[in-house]
């Protein structure tokens, strides 16, 4: 069972995504603040992270960078509700697995997570 961390400030999005992923057999931990994400990445092993990157929030950007530094192999799927180009530049620089702008469908996120699992299995 793949373990996924979902980090998004919007409760309804986070909760619905968690339920959708759990119904497909994923183990999901969801959090609301980027600062919490770093704590979880340091103490637990995840197969993927769904991370809401907010370029206007410097903490969000710094935490995202720290996560990539801690585990370069960890697939990070970035979602953002910002139109700012910093989001896409930052995602590319930090080797994001996938990048989505809200609104994004849960199916698209699930497909990206499944792809990370398949790629991981093929590389082992």
**Domains with residue ranges and CATH for the chain:** 3-123 (3.40.50.2300)
List, for residues 87-123, the tens digit of each pLDDT value. Answer: 555 655 566 788 888 899 999 999 999 998 888 777 7
Q: Indicate the DSSP class of residue 18.
A: H
**Spatial separation of the C-alpha atoms in residues 118 and 13, rounded to whole Å:** 25
Strand partners, 120: none
- DSSP class per residue in 41-87: HHHS--SEEEEE--TT-HHHHHHHHHHHHH-TTS-EEEEE----HHH
List, for residues 70-80, the tens digit of each pLDDT value. Answer: 888 889 998 88
pTM (2 decimals)? 0.88
Confidence band, pLDDT 50/70/90 cuts, at residue 65: confident
Of 11-20, 49-58, 97-106, the poorest mean pLDDT is in: 49-58
Question: What whole-number percentage of the chain has pLDDT above 90?
Answer: 48
Contacts of 13 (CB under 8 A, 6+ apart): 102
């Amino acid at each position: 069972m793949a373990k996924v961390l979902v980090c998004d400030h919007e409760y309804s999005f986070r909760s619905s995504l968690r339920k959708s992923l759990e119904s497909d057999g994923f183990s999901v931990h969801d959090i609301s603040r980027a600062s919490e994400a770093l704590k979880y990445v340091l103490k637990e092993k995840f197969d993927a992270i769904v991370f809401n990157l907010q370029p206007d929030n410097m903490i969000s950007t710094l935490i995202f960078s720290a996560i990539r530094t801690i585990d370069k192999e960890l697939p990070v799927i970035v979602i953002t509700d910002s139109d700012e180009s910093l989001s896409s530049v930052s995602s590319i620089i930090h080797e994001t697995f996938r990048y989505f702008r809200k609104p994004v469908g849960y199916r698209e996120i699930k497909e990206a997570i499944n792809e990370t699992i398949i790629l991981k299995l093929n590389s082992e």
